[in-house]
Amino acid sequence: AELETLLKSAIGAGAIEAVFQPLVSASTGTVTGLEALARWRTAAGNVSPEVFIPLAERCGLIDALGAHMLRTSVAHAKNWPDLALSVNVSPVQLCNPEFAAEVISVLRELDFDPKRLTLEITEGVLMTNPDQARRSIDQLKRVGIKFALDDFGCGYASIGALRQFGFDRMKIDRSLVSALDEGAKGADVLRATISLATALQIPVTAEGIENSRQAAILRDAGCDQLQGYLMGKPMSARDISGKLQEEA
């Protein structure tokens, strides 16, 4: 309960920060986009998003936290006009009937092209509240916002959902990528998963790439976008700007 109070004031004070992790073209190695990730630094140390995101979902703070993350990451992304921006959205947010209108209004207010924005969602929501999820997704897709199915392969393997909800991209969970280091079967599973997406004409991002052997296998298997510590760790907005300047 104490953490809940702290989180509430942190959100109110704008103390939840966004860091940005590069999304890299598999063919050229250039950064084409950034994924925003929430960070909470307190006097007592950092609290992991694996702790405070579920907490925010449980205690009704996720809409405010999500709105803050969208606003702050879009504001930063205006400094990187050539890059796409991905923002994680909790299933709880997507089930809020006001969600889509709020996203659209933030983009208008900040004059941000909706075509640059991808919302990453996990498959859970598609099971628990498919009707509201679909309404939100459809409303946002109409203005040009894209959707990525996040953490694919670690929950129910819903290839059906990829089609039914009109996902623009699939993100392969890093547990499947790290399985590449543990034996030959890992590569077979990945290739099969990527082929399925490719057959549906849905491009694939691989997450959690930590070594060049993994990157080579995933590139050969048909991923067009790579993400992970090998390509770049999540960085502050200032460090991203520095990195982009180095590369220019």
Task: Answer with the entry of ligand G, Mn ion, Na ion, none that 53 interacts with (C-beta below 5 to 8 A by kind).
Answer: ligand G
Q: Does the protein bind ligand G through residue 190 (CB under 6 A)?
A: no
Report yes or no: 204 and 173 within 8 Å, Cβ to Cβ.
no
DSSP 61: -
Query: Between residue 200 and residue 239, which ones bind ligand G under the rule CB under 6 A?
Result: 207-210, 228-229, 234
Q: Determine the residue with CB nearest ligand G.
A: 228
72 vs 122, beta carbon nearer Na ion: 122
* Rounded Cα gap, residues 190 and 131, in angstroms: 30
Residue 74: CB atoms within 10 A of its CB come to 22
Supply φ then ψ for residue 118, to 5 degrees. -115, 135
| Residue 159 amino acid letter | I
Q: Which of 150, 194, 218, 225 binds ligand G (CB under 6 A)?
A: 150
Contact set for Na ion, span 101-160 (CB under 5 A):
150-151
- By CB under 5 A, what part of segment 192-231 binds Na ion? 207
**Would you call 230 helix, strand, or coil by DSSP?**
coil
Which of 151, 218, 221, 237 touches ligand G by CB under 6 A?
A: 151
If the CB atoms of residues 6 and 174 are measured against Na ion, the closer one turns out to be 174
85: partner contacted, choices Na ion, ligand G, Mn ion, none (Cβ within 5-8 A by kind): none
Residue 69 contacts which entry, Mn ion, Na ion, ligand G, none (Cβ below 5-8 A, type-dependent): ligand G
| Gap between the Cα atoms of 67 and 12, Å rounded | 11
Sequence-ordered alpha helix ranges (H) in 41-183: 49-58, 62-77, 91-94, 99-109, 124-128, 130-142, 159-164, 174-178
Residues lying near ligand G in the complex (CB under 6 A) are found at 21, 37-38, 48-50, 53, 69, 88-90, 150-151, 174, 207-210, 228-229, 234
